[in-house]
Structure 1
Amino acid sequence: MAGDPGTGDHDPGSVTTILDHGLDLGPATVLVGDNGSGKSTIIEAIALAYGLSPEGGSTGAQHRTRSTESVLADHLQLVRNAGTTRRGYFLRAETMHGLFTYLEANPSMSGPDVPFHEMSHGESFLELVVDRFRGSGLWVLDEPESALSFSGCLALLGVLKELVVSGKSQVILSTHSPLLAALPGAQIYEVGSWGLRLQRWEDLDLVTSWQAFLSSPERYLRHL
């Protein structure tokens, strides 16, 4: 993925890095970082540049409630291999309700529709992944852990692992979850003021911070 300069003077360091140097995406790529680091901006821009709906869905989804996306997508060029599929799906937990309403109003022609609105938030999220993430394609997820319990994250990890192992799919994920960041076979980029840096899972600030808290929560709680 290559970038062209020109989005503005106040972009996070991660966005500037991509515009200046591009970003190599493997079969599975995970972005981790604090709020405001730019990881969701990058995820959204990749989805948009691929032709996916900014509020979630496939390349055919046309719903939109309010335009808030970054202009970064206008400056990205996705480099595809010859014969690469154009199938894909973008999931972001914060816009799931609107996506489900859109899907309800635009029923599928290929089979019975899943009653997503009748399920819990986590159940509907996982059901959508199982229902739509099939075969070859680009599967993009923005902080899916906000919809999922620990067991739900494990279930999602299992689905994503199978997609990657198939060799026919590419997964791109942003997360605050150390569990999801452990996606087998993924290259992990730690996102921050420095831009983006490849990092081993066990060396991520996200992982070491959670390990420190779980080993001695009182050390943190007494300062609140």
Structure 2
Amino acid sequence: MLHLRIAAAPAPMKLSNLPIRRVTEHALHCAPRDQWPQTLPPVLQLLDEGMDFGPATILVGENGSGKSTLVEAIAMSYGLSPEGGSTGAQHSTRVTESGLEHHLQLLRNIGASRRGYFLRAETMHSFYTYLEENPSMRQVEPDFHTMSHGESFLELIIDKFREGGLWVLDEPESALSFSGSLALVGILKDLLAAGGSQVIMSTHSPLLASLPGANIYEVGPRGLRRSQWDDLDLVSNWRSFMNMPGRYLRHL
């Protein structure tokens, strides 16, 4: 008797509602490897290997390591304003972008939200003026200039980060106290739990780097290195300082 074996049907691919699935080098606009910022190891690694993105991705590293350059380029490739805002923002003071965004290709998930917002602490003052001069057609903008730096930053996030979308933050701890940083982690945690939202953040803050469920990458001379929160140099350095500040201060 002939026995036929019927192969099981492959499991259907699980669709994601996250805005970005992967970032690679643009096939038609390859970046020259001998020019900045491609000479930075993390940038070169992203171009050579690509990078997958989950619900939350956090980049930590020293000043000049390339983390803000990567965050800015991804935000711009998505269509967000480099000095802050959504895809419709036209705020610009002085052009300082690296140009890396022209060499990146974002692989988006089908049917995912195309909303998004980019916030960077260093441009917030002028960005508030831009919002005052270009109010939303749907609502009255809060008077951000009358608030403290941290209060206005959190109020803007509460005001804009409402639905599914890509939320990009560049060193937001510059505007926030300890309690403000905790509040931001709570806001982002709730956004991720609701589904459809994706967070990409660069930070020097061990508190912000502790965002639950985030994939953390140390950015530096070795490129992009996936790490656990407890293993971050950032965390161990702060722990050492808090335990024995005199050991550091006497060498200044």
The match for 2:189 is 161
Residues 1:211 and 2:239 are matched in the alignment:
yes
In structure 2, distance between residues paired with 1:31 and 1:103: 28
Q: CA deviation at 1:168?
A: 1.1
Residues 7 and 71, structure 1, Cα contact 8 Å, conserved in 2: no
SS of equivalent to 2:94: coil
Name stretches of at least 5 consecutive residues in structure 2 with no aligned partner: 1-22
More helix by share: 1
CA deviations on 1:25-69 (whole Å, 9 max, x unpaired) are 110000000000000000000000000000000000011001100
**Superposed displacement of residue 8, structure 1:** 4.3
Contact kept? 2:33, 2:44, Cα under 8 Å: no
Paired with 2:111 and 2:32, the residues of 1 have a C-alpha distance of 31
Q: CA deviation at 1:178?
A: 0.1
> TM-score normalized by structure 1?
0.98
Shift of 1:85: 1.2
Unaligned runs of 5+ in 1: none
Q: Percent same amino acid among aligned pairs? A: 67
Whole-Å separation in 1 of the counterparts to 2:133 and 2:113: 27
Structure 2 residue 21 is the aligned partner of structure 1 residue 6: no
Alignment equivalent of 2:214, drawn from 169, 173, 186: 186
Partners of 1:46 and 1:134 in 2: CA distance = 21
Q: CA deviation at 1:164?
A: 1.1
Aligned counterparts of 2:143 and 2:189: Cα–Cα separation in 1:
26
- Once residues 79 and 212 of structure 2 are traced to their aligned partners in structure 1, the CA distance between those partners, rounded to angstroms, is 27
Q: How many residues align?
A: 224
Contact 1:178/1:207, CA 8 A, preserved across alignment: yes
2:152 is aligned with what amino acid? S
Determine the structure 1 residue equivalent to 2:201.
Answer: 173
Amino acid at match of 1:217: P
**What residue number does 2:137 align with?**
109
Query: Is 1:18 equivalent to 2:18 in the alignment?
Result: no
Q: Which whole-Å CA distance do the structure 2 matches of 1:178 and 1:113 have between them? A: 32
Determine the structure 2 residue equivalent to 1:34.
Answer: 62
- Say which one has the larger Rg: 2
What does 1:92-171 align with in structure 2 at a 5 Å threshold?
Answer: 92-171=120-199
CA contact (8 A) 1:163 1:169 kept: yes
Measure how far apart 1:112 and its partner are.
2.0
User: What's the offset of the Cα at 1:154?
Assistant: 0.3
CA–CA separation in structure 1 for the residues paired with 2:156 and 2:85: 10
Amino acid at match of 1:45: A
Alpha-carbon separation, structure 2, partners of 1:48 and 1:139: 12
Q: Which of 67, 74, 77 in structure 1 is aligned with 2:95? A: 67
The residue type paired with residue 89 of structure 2 is A
CA distance in 1, matches of 2:41, 2:219: 8
Cα offset, 1:6, TM superposition = 1.5
Moved over 3 A (4+): none
Structure 2 residue 77 is the aligned partner of structure 1 residue 77: no
- The alignment partner of 2:87 has SS state of coil
SS in 2 for 1:53: coil
